[in-house]
């Protein structure tokens, strides 16, 4: 099944959701959720609601608060994909289209009022029994919208009676419209309608299903471009233009474009876009609407990049690029005494969660994953960077494998607790290349990680190595950033190592392994702990230890760097001898035990160690701290 057919089937299977906003049901972060649009409809943010009576007279106008601006509007094939030029929407549109006096109250001479009124009249004549449509047409024909908005104090004007683009008075006296504008200029305000007629059950026109159905019937009655639809294999009405605003409102990038007769869209090989392929108008509208809906509800967005996974009959599938914390929605109040989520607890919680998803999609055999990106942020062409169709059981098994195998101790800043989980791709990219990573590199790296998660492909070796290198470079990193880098590098290396080799590393200290990198990591951890403990014992100012400063050199030349560190530990050994001899003896005994595990040739080998060095370093520190914590008397 190709991507467009998959999206078309998704719309068909979820047609009952058309026009519904799933914000209350799904979105805990209160984002703006794009609904599944009725056929031949789209969405725009409206800043003003104009209220009319049953005779087509202006009653009042209201400024729409920023959180309630999303409005379902009818669109034509051209207006749904408009990026430039005059092309009116049929009912709700900007002031330059719906205001007959637009040029009088602005310095902008570019008005689409005549085109808007002509189109609205054709619709009214097609459906003469539609009282709401007749009322709106009667009012718009008067051409006094801006005059009414100015007189009702909704829009302010300057001394020349021109709309004020910016408020120049006292900030506290600014009209409400300026708070609702956002990035929209005042002469590009979009108007929606409310018609108050007795016995009118739905005065808000943008919510009226009868208006939706009226527009659908009108569109299907127009002259059609008949041909073969390559998606359904049927002779049907073909689309001449395809919708925009796919990733968000105002997004001008399109996946399909064939109207560039002066450029290079199809010239050189074809004379007409129909010679390339034909896509049914209804198929195109429904597929694009489903894609908008999916991205808005459950898509992963990073600048111009969007990735979403779904099943056609049960569209809600958690995105493969989220971290374990977000996937499980870890709740610290679940067990108040537990201050960390262990691997066993996360694994159990994850299996329960995924089993629940599997039960919901028990009759669904396929999961679809699509990735989109464009060269520029909101313009140009939108490319499909990734599309995959896979068995739903395989998908869920692979997701479970990633979140239970590519794991390490991570910090949940929202709930203030440690948990065992997989780092998100965004975290991996920032650890490998820094927080100021180039946008193109970030998006490319995320795209490389996606098959590793959903198809169990091996991790890119260069990415794992970049994370290890970053974790070893303590200098220049804040304490929290360094901890995150180490934990992420440990998760990736352990996942890569366990996938390739027979040996299996756990997240607890392995006191029997004799691998040189692991042992050198344990030695470095002991050097750090000894120096840090000595600082605390002498009430010295806490500062980065020599072990932390030399970590990068230690990973490249472990033997020679250990000789330097061991010599530098002498004053700290004396401090502990004076202040805490018992702890000094304990540390010295542990260092000696680690030394005894070395093969002599491995110990004097000064070549670079692998990522096992970080596993030994982390596990040794955790082991000693936990021992010391257990030995302290309970309060």
* DSSP secondary structure string for all residues of 357-371: HHHHTTT--EEEEEE
Report pLDDT for 26.
Answer: 41
For residue 209, how many other CB atoms are within 10 A of its CB?
A: 11
For residue 347, the model assigns a pLDDT of: 64
Structural domain spans, the chain: 1-33+223-298, 38-221, 511-635
Q: How far is CA 148 from the centre of its chain?
A: 42
Q: Which residues of 224-259 are buried (b: 16+ CB within 10 A; e: fewer)?
A: eeebbbbbeeeebbbbebbbbbbbbeebbbbbbbbe
Alpha-carbon span 294 to 297, nearest angstrom: 5
* Count of all residues that appear for the chain in the document: 635
50 pairs with which residues across the strands? 61, 193
What are all long-range contacts of 396-399, with beta carbons under 8 Å and residues at least 24 apart? 396/354, 396/357, 396/358, 398/453, 398/454, 398/455, 398/456, 399/318, 399/320, 399/354, 399/453, 399/454
User: What pLDDT score does 360 carry?
Assistant: 61
CA distance 507 to 484: 16
Distances (CA, A) of 295 to 274, 292, 527: 29, 5, 50
Look at residues 98, 101, 93, 112 and name the one whose alpha carbon lies nearest to residue 163: 101
Query: Is residue 81 within 8 Å of 242, Cβ to Cβ?
Result: yes
Distance of alpha carbon 247 from alpha carbon 377, whole angstroms: 10
- The dihedrals phi and psi of 98, each to the nearest 5 degrees, come to -90, -15
Distance CA 554, CA 548 (A): 10
Query: What pTM does this model have?
Result: 0.81
First to last CA, the chain: 64
Q: Please give the average pLDDT of every successive group of 10 residues along the chain, which has 635 residues.
A: 89 86 45 81 92 94 90 89 82 94 88 94 95 95 95 91 87 88 87 90 91 94 84 88 81 76 62 77 92 88 88 74 76 44 63 66 75 79 89 86 89 75 91 90 92 93 94 84 92 90 80 93 95 84 86 94 94 91 92 94 94 93 87 61
For 406: left if phi > 0, alpha if psi spans -120 to 50, otherwise beta; the answer is beta
Quote the CA–CA distance of 478 and 500 in Å, as a whole number: 33
In whole angstroms, give the CA distance from residue 491 to residue 507. Answer: 9
- Are residues 492 and 590 in contact, defined by beta-carbon separation less than 8 angstroms? no
């Amino acid at each position: 099944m190709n991507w467009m057919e998959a999206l078309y089937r998704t719309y068909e299977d979820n047609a009952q959701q058309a026009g519904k906003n799933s914000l209350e049901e799904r979105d805990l972060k209160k984002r703006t959720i794009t609904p599944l649009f009725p056929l031949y409809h789209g969405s725009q943010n409206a800043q003003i609601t104009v209220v009319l009576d049953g005779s087509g007279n202006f009653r009042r106008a209201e400024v729409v608060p920023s959180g309630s601006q999303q409005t379902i509007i009818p669109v034509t094939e051209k207006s749904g994909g408009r990026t430039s030029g005059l092309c009116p929407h049929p009912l709700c549109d900007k002031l330059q289209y719906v205001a007959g006096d637009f040029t009088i109250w602005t310095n902008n001479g570019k008005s689409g009022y005549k085109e808007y009124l002509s189109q609205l009249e054709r619709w009214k004549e097609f459906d003469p029994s539609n009282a709401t449509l007749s009322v709106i047409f009667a009012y718009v024909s008067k051409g006094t919208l801006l005059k009414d908005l100015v007189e009702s104090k909704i829009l302010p004007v300057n001394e020349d009676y021109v709309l004020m683009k910016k408020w120049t008075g006292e900030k506290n006296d600014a009209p409400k419209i300026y708070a609702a504008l956002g990035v929209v200029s005042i002469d590009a305000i979009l108007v929606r309608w409310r018609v108050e007629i007795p016995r009118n059950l739905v005065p808000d026109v943008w919510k009226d299903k009868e208006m939706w159905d009226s527009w659908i019937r009108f569109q299907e009655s127009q002259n059609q471009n008949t041909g073969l639809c390559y998606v359904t294999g049927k002779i049907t009405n073909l689309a001449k233009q395809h919708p925009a605003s796919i990733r968000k409102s105002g997004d001008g990038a399109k996946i399909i474009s064939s109207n560039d007769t002066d450029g290079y869209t199809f010239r050189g090989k074809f004379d007409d876009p129909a010679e390339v392929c034909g896509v049914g108008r209804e198929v195109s509208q429904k597929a694009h609407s489903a894609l908008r809906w999916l991205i808005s509800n459950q898509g992963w967005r990073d600048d111009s990049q969007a990735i979403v996974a779904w099943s056609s009959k049960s569209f809600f599938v958690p995105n493969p690029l989220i971290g374990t914390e977000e996937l499980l929605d870890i709740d610290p109040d679940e067990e108040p005494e537990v201050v960390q989520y262990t691997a066993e607890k996360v694994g159990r919680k994850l299996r329960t969660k995924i089993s629940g998803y599997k039960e919901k999609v028990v009759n669904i055999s396929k999961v679809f994953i699509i990735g989109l990106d464009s060269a520029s942020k909101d313009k140009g062409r939108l490319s499909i960077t990734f599309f995959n169709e896979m068995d739903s059981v395989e998908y869920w098994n692979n997701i479970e494998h990633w979140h239970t195998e590519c794991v390490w101790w991570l910090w949940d800043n929202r709930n203030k607790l440690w948990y065992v989980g997989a780092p998100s791709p965004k975290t991996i990219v920032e650890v490998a290349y820094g927080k100021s990573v180039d946008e193109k590199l970030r998006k490319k790296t995320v795209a490389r990680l996606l098959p590793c998660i959903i198809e169990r492909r091996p991790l890119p070796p260069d990415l794992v190595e970049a994370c290890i290198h970053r974790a070893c470079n303590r200098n220049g990193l804040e304490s929290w950033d360094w901890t995150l880098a180490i934990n992420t590098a440990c998760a990736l290396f352990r996942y890569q190592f366990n996938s390739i080799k027979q040996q299996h590393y756990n997240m607890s200290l392995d006191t029997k392994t004799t691998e040189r990198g692991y042992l050198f990591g344990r030695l470095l951890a002991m050097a750090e702990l000894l120096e840090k403990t000595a600082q605390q014992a002498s009430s010295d100012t806490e500062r980065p230890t020599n072990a932390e400063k030399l970590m990068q050199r230690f990973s490249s030349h472990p033997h020679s760097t250990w000789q330097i560190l061991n010599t530098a530990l002498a004053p700290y050994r004396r401090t502990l001898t004076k202040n805490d001899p018992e702890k000094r003896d304990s540390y010295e005994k542990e260092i000696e035990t680690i030394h005894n595990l070395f093969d002599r040739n491995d110990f004097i080998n000064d070549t670079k160690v692998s990522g096992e060095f970080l596993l030994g370093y982390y596990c040794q520190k955790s082991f000693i701290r936990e021992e010391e914590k257990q030995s302290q008397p309970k309060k």
